């Protein structure tokens, strides 16, 4: 990579591979080095926090719902065909079901 101009939301005017400090637009003549701010990382962390917050409220709503797998379902009745389920089955519920079946058959210790 050579010393080329990189434009990021109009705030960074240039970057190089020789570990120079990024200079905000308009401050090229100043001798005061500025600290690099990774705006992409800040945006990612903010987006992730929003996603996690929304996911937590979704999980709380799902915990209140009835189980998707019938309590008397057998392995063959549930997984004996290649037909898709009527509705998505939460991974934790499917894992619990499989562990129960495997324990009953002596396949899981």
Q: Give the total number of structural domains in the chain.
A: 3
Tell me the β-bridge partners of 12: 24
Write out the residue range of the structural domain in which residue 29 sits.
1-34
Nearest C-alpha neighbor of 97 from the set 63, 73, 65, 76:
73
Query: What pLDDT shows up at residue 19?
Result: 44
pLDDT tens-digit readout, 35-74 = 999 999 999 999 999 988 877 766 666 666 778 887 778 8
Tell me, yes or no, whether 73 and 48 share the same domain. Answer: no
Tell me, yes or no, whether 75 and 109 share the same domain. Answer: yes
pLDDT tens-digit readout, 21-38 = 555 555 555 567 789 999
pLDDT-wise least confident of 3-7, 85-89, 90-94: 3-7
Tell me, yes or no, whether 93 and 77 share the same domain. Answer: yes
Tell me, yes or no, whether 40 and 57 share the same domain. Answer: yes
Query: What pLDDT shows up at residue 61?
Result: 64
Q: Where are the beta strands (DSSP E) in 15-104?
A: none
Query: What pLDDT shows up at residue 45?
Result: 95
């Amino acid at each position: 990579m050579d010393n080329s101009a990189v434009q990021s939301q109009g705030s960074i005017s240039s970057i190089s591979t020789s570990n120079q400090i990024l200079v905000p637009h308009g401050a090229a003549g100043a001798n005061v080095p500025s600290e690099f701010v990774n705006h992409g990382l800040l945006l990612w962390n903010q987006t992730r926090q929003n996603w996690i917050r929304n996911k937590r409220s979704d999980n709380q709503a799902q915990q209140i719902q009835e189980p998707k797998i019938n309590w008397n379902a057998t392995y063959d009745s549930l997984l004996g065909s290649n037909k898709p389920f009527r509705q998505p089955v939460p991974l934790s519920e499917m894992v619990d079901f499989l562990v129960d079946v495997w324990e009953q058959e002596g396949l899981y210790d």
